[in-house]
Amino acid sequence: MEMSKKALLAAAAILALPAAAANAQSMFSPSGPVYPGIYIGAEGGLNWLLNNNSYVMDTGWAAGGKVGYDFVGPRVELEGMYHSNTGNAVVAFPTGYANVRGRIDQVSVMANVLYDFFPGATITPYIGAGAGVAFVDANIQGCSMCLAMFAYQGILGVGYNATPALRIGLEGRYYGTTNPGAYTNNNIMALLSVAYKFGQPEMAAPPPPPAAAVTPPSFMVFFDWDRANISDQAPGV
């Protein structure tokens, strides 16, 4: 009885394999011809500032743009992004302490290197990392982004290639900066992006249809016996 159950389970698994393979093939089916090229894009979403400086930060937002080059698989890009988070903190004043509500803003300029696992597929997972410079506020009271710091980030996402030139992406990121003194700046982001790639090759024009065969006209010519001249019975004579 035990062996028959195992056999039935194995048979069911074998029968399910073609359906699973078909689903995977439809998900990763080609979106069109793959080609290298320059792309531009915009992105935005939610930003969570994980700060241990006695601040309690609300969910913030981030938005930016990018320009890059797709080598079909590897990609490199230059990205600029604005981050903003509002929150509460207990701030010390000469006369005592007060609960202050304020905002921490950041501007980052990053150079990113990414890799698409299935560049020619409709669904394309990708990973990446970046480094650059960030201009940030030192505290919740703001300082007009007075600190310039080294910034770094890790990227994990998935892209939907609507066409060979148009991609929509959804990704998660960890973004942080170096810590001057006791300042801590760690961010988690969830971003939605759209990018357009230039240089799509033109489709070759279909060959012209073959010319219709023309049948030459035929004529019947009559000669008199043992004569070379055309007789009066020939057409047109």
Number of domains in the chain: 1
Task: Please report whether residue 221 resides in a domain.
Answer: no
The dihedral region occupied by 45, where left means phi > 0, alpha psi between -120 and 50, and beta the remainder, is left
**39: exposed, middle or buried (Cβ count in 10 Å: 0-12, 13-18, 19+):** buried
Q: Which helix (H) or strand (E) holds 170?
A: strand 166-177
Which pLDDT belongs to residue 228? 64
The C-alpha atoms of residue 153 and residue 176 are separated, in whole angstroms, by 6
Chain-centroid distance of CA 225 in Å reads: 88
DSSP state of 63: E
The C-alpha atoms of residue 109 and residue 219 are separated, in whole angstroms, by 85
Task: Please report whether residue 217 resides in a domain.
Answer: no
Which pLDDT belongs to residue 3? 46
Neighbours of 150 (CB within 10 A): 11
Neighbours of 189 (CB within 10 A): 23
As given in the structure block, the two tokens for residue 89 are 């903190």
Task: Please report whether residue 65 resides in a domain.
Answer: yes
Amino acid in position 221: V
**Where does the chain have alpha helices with state H?**
2-27
Neighbours of 95 (CB within 10 A): 6
The C-alpha atoms of residue 31 and residue 4 are separated, in whole angstroms, by 44
Task: Please report whether residue 224 resides in a domain.
Answer: no
The DSSP result for 70-101, as a single string, is: E-SSEEEEEEEEEEEEEEEEEEEETTEEEEEE
Task: Please report whether residue 47 resides in a domain.
Answer: yes
The C-alpha atoms of residue 69 and residue 67 are separated, in whole angstroms, by 7
Task: Please report whether residue 53 resides in a domain.
Answer: yes
Q: Digits of tens for pLDDT over the chain (237 positions)?
A: 444 555 555 555 544 444 443 344 344 557 678 899 999 999 999 999 987 677 888 999 999 999 999 999 999 999 999 999 998 887 666 776 778 888 889 999 999 999 999 998 999 999 999 999 999 987 787 788 888 999 999 999 999 999 999 999 999 999 999 876 656 789 999 999 999 999 887 766 677 788 777 777 766 666 666 666 666 665 555
Task: Please report whether residue 236 resides in a domain.
Answer: no
Q: Which residues constitute the domain of residue 162?
A: 39-197
Alpha-carbon dihedral of residues 15, 17, 23, 25, nearest 10 degrees?
-130
Neighbours of 33 (CB within 10 A): 10
List the CATH number of the domain containing 81: 2.40.160.20
Task: Please report whether residue 128 resides in a domain.
Answer: yes
211's CB contacts (< 8 A; 6+ apart) are none
